Amino acid sequence: MASTAERILDSAQALAQVRGYNGFSYADISAELAITKPSIHHHFPSKAQLAEALIARYRERFAVARQEVDDAATGARERLAGYAGLYAQVFAEGGRMCLCGVFAADAASLPPGVRRAVAAFFDDQRRWVAAAFLEAGLPAARARGAAQAFLAALEGALLLARAGAPTVDDAAVADPGEDVVLSVAATMLDTLL
Amino acid sequence: MASTAERILDSAQALAQVRGYNGFSYADISAELAITKPSIHHHFPSKAQLAEALIARYRERFAVARQEVDDAATGARERLAGYAGLYAQVFAEGGRMCLCGVFAADAASLPPGVRRAVAAFFDDQRRWVAAAFLEAGLPAARARGAAQAFLAALEGALLLARAGAPTVDDAAVADPGEDVVLSVAATMLDTLL
DNA sequence: GTCTATACCAGGATAGAC
DNA sequence: GTCTATCCTGGTATAGAC
């Protein structure tokens, strides 16, 4: 059974990933968990602190998932394909966007600490992806460029998948969002490597 | 001299592109233009209608700029490079994100009409970019995939540029955001074509 | 077309009892 | 650690005068 703090983080993350930083509130979490707003404030005194905790956990979990990809993969290409799969999984879970991707979109309205945490997350990702391209045999300068483009394409693919996601009006149409992410990733790897 | 409605749109667009849909209000626009909130409601009765007008104008202007790129370019590669330049220009103007890109991030908190307008914008872009890749000699299926990846990379590059933008703390550091967009675009064109 | 005044609700946060 | 009650602010929107 998850602790209250963890259940709050779970709810807040799901909300943030589909509605953005300014699109969710303590009241939303309160309604989802059948807990009052002051109880949430007890665990996370301010929304900024909640968001920072959200990013810290997200970043750690992402690092763990990356490591699992590393352990399972035999070569650099497989590592990168597995990494892209993590993004596809994010979308598959309720049409979510990368937590730091949504936050980056609202950057100018973020508390400073949250913005810094977002920047740190992307630095972390850039480093990992660049190392993978380096392992794949690309020269250092090109590996950095490829990493930037690969990351941008994955974040952008999530954005496009979101934009094209079915509305209530045409819910009958199959959601192609996950395919968008995977096909963009495949295109990137086919051309970059 | 621009009409009041246009000045409202200018202000709202600038705010939306850096703060997101839920990050700006009639009060913000009111403060910027020295006009009262009810006056804004007179021109745009609801925020949803304001946002739809914003997207309609943005989409038209983007189409005009694309056409100018078309007229100036001699080949498909130049067309696509010029198109990418439009995205770099967006960021250059105050570290803005693509209007529809920010809106897509907050998709689940958008009024239905706004969400549809965002989706239509991206369909429009996808068509134009795919046509350019087709002109460049790519087979139809690959042109669609390349267009999707190219668009995703451009939107994602804006997102990453935003995330890495200097905060108040390190404003002395030169802002590399525009370079991010242009270098990602160059990487994409070098590899896709 | 712009204003003053105002209604109404929601968001973030606190005090203090249990 | 959770609750009730409450505060203040700001966001969206309307009525009605000028």
Cβ–Cβ contact B159 with A under 8 A? yes
Mean pLDDT of chain B: 95
Task: Specify the number of domains making up chain B.
Answer: 1
From B100, which residue of chain A is nearest by alpha-carbon distance?
A163
Neighboring chain A residues of B123 at a CB cutoff of 8 Å: 164
Question: Would you call B159 and A116 a contact, using CB atoms and an 8 Å cutoff?
Answer: no
Mean pLDDT value of segment B46-59: 98
Looking at the predicted structure, is the pLDDT value of residue B57 above 70?
yes
Tell me, what's the pLDDT at B172? 52
Contact positions of strand D to protein Cβ (< 7 A) = 1-6, 10-16
Looking at the predicted structure, is the pLDDT value of residue B59 above 70?
yes
* Interval B91-150: pLDDT, tens: 999 999 999 999 999 999 999 999 999 999 999 999 999 999 999 999 999 999 999 999
Domain assignment present for B112: yes
How much is the pTM? 0.96
Domain assignment present for A145: yes
Share of chain B above pLDDT 70, in %: 94
Residue nearest C10, CA–C1′ metric: A27
When pLDDT is cut at 50, 70 and 90, the band that residue B174 belongs to is low
The Cα A55–Cα B178 span in angstroms is 26
Tell me, what's the pLDDT at B167? 53
Cβ–Cβ contact A173 with B under 8 A? no
Cβ–Cβ contact A145 with B under 8 A? yes
Domain assignment present for A42: no
The count of other CB atoms within 10 Å of the CB of residue A134 is 17
The boundaries of the domain holding residue B177 are 55-192
The count of other CB atoms within 10 Å of the CB of residue B74 is 7
Tell me, what's the pLDDT at B166? 59
Residues of chain A with pLDDT under 50: 168
Domain assignment present for A22: no
Domain assignment present for A48: no
Supply the DSSP string of chain B, one letter for each residue. Answer: ---HHHHHHHHHHHHHHHH-GGG--HHHHHHHHT--HHHHHHHSSSHHHHHHHHHHHHHHHHHHHHHHHHHH-SSHHHHHHHHHHHHHHHHHTTS---HHHHHHHTGGGS-HHHHHHHHHHHHHHHHHHHHHHHHTT--HHHHHHHHHHHHHHHHHHHHHHHHHS--STTTTSPP-HHHHHHHHHHHHHHHH-
Nearest-Å Rg of the Cα atoms of chain A is 18
CB B79 within 8 A of CB B86: no
A180 closest CA partner among A164, A152, A161, A167: A161
Q: Is the CB of A5 under 7 A from strand C?
A: no
CB B151 within 8 A of CB B126: yes
**What is residue A36's three-state secondary structure?**
coil
Looking at the predicted structure, is the pLDDT value of residue B64 above 60?
yes
Tell me, what's the pLDDT at B175? 64
Neighboring chain A residues of B118 at a CB cutoff of 8 Å: 163
Domain assignment present for A161: yes
User: Which residue in B15, B58, B100, B106 has the most chain A C-beta atoms within 10 A of its own C-beta, making it the best mutation to test that interface?
Assistant: B106
Cβ–Cβ contact A84 with B under 8 A? no
CATH code at position A63 = 1.10.357.10
Domain assignment present for B85: yes
Tell me, what's the pLDDT at B186? 98
Task: Find the distance separating the first CA and the last CA of chain A, reported in whole Å.
Answer: 44
Cβ–Cβ contact A18 with B under 8 A? yes
Q: Is the CB of B25 under 7 A from strand C?
A: no
Domain assignment present for B20: no
